[in-house]
A = this chain, B = another copy of it.
Amino acid sequence: MSPSAPQVGRPRCEESRARILAATNALLETTSWSTLAIETIAARARVGKQTIYKWWGGKSALVMEAALTSLEIEVFADDTGNAKRDLLSFLKRSSKLLRDTATGRTLAALIAEAQNDPAFLQMFREQFQNVRREALRSVLKRGIARGELLEDLDVELFIDAVFGAFWYRLLTGRAAINERFAEQLVEMMWPAIRAKGRA
């Protein structure tokens, strides 16, 4: 399609796109998901509502794109040659991302919204979660390959537990998500994954 569609008609206005995303992010700083109105976004971005509905189709998709845009794009995992250090470093960075109130609240709202919209849940997993899982997975796989971690570690299950703890705290507000949390979590879990016969 792309090669055979030689651009007919006026092309999409990139400036509007940017203004919409910017307005969305700005409003998310002060407004909660549920009180955030498409009309408000459109007014703030000086844009017709149709333009939003045309390109995003609804609040969910728009907010997700806005949120992902504003997050540091690169989800990367260090490779220092030490699995524990890499794991800790990755989780510390994750905690930093979530402690920024607006970002954390937005992510919570996204997963919440996904509970009422299977298609959106699918999108959320593909665009956000899988990237994060892959980063953590690579840390663990390297550790296994180097013999630092259990050969038969159930990587996916471990990721569930670690990310689960983060989301659990984020969604219930039971306790803070900070570097100390990351450290304690790694410290607690370490015996469950380190290769036998190692420290």
Q: How would residues 6 to 50 of chain A score, 1 for a CB under 8 Å from any chain B CB and 0 otherwise?
A: 000000000000000000000000001111000000000000000
- Please give the number of chain A residues whose Cβ is less than 8 angstroms from any Cβ of chain B in the complex: 44
In the complex, per-residue mask of A173-185: 1 if CB is within 8 Å of any chain B CB, else 0: 1110000010011
Does the CB pair A116–B111 fall under 8 Å? no
- CA A113 to CA B111, docked complex, whole Å: 11
Specify which chain B residues have a CB less than 8 angstroms from the CB of A158 in the assembled complex: 188
Taken together as a complex, chains A and B put the C-alpha atoms of A52 and B197 apart, in Å, by: 62
Complex CA distance for A161 and B33, rounded to whole angstroms: 27
Report copies per complex.
4
**Are A168 and B160 in contact, with the CB atoms below 8 A?**
yes
Interface string of A187-199 (1 = CB under 8 A from B): 0111110000000
Residues from 67 to 107 in A contacting B, C-beta threshold 8 Å? 105
CB distance from A60 to the nearest CB of B (A): 11
A127 interface hit (Cβ, 8 Å) = no
Q: Does A62 contact B (CB under 8 A)?
A: no
Q: Binary interface profile of A, 100-142, with partner B (CB < 8 Å = 1, else 0)?
A: 0000010011011111100001000100010000000000000
Given A172-B121, A185-B157, the answer on whether A116 and B34 have CB atoms closer than 8 Å is: yes
Q: How far is the CA of A133 from the CA of B175 in the complex (A)?
A: 14
Nearest residue (CB) in B for A35 is: B116
* 8 Å CB contact of A111 from B32, B129, B164, B172: B172
Contact B157 A184 (CB under 8 A): yes
Which are the 5 A-B pairs with shortest beta-carbon distances? Answer: A164-B164, A164-B168, A112-B112, A164-B165, A112-B115
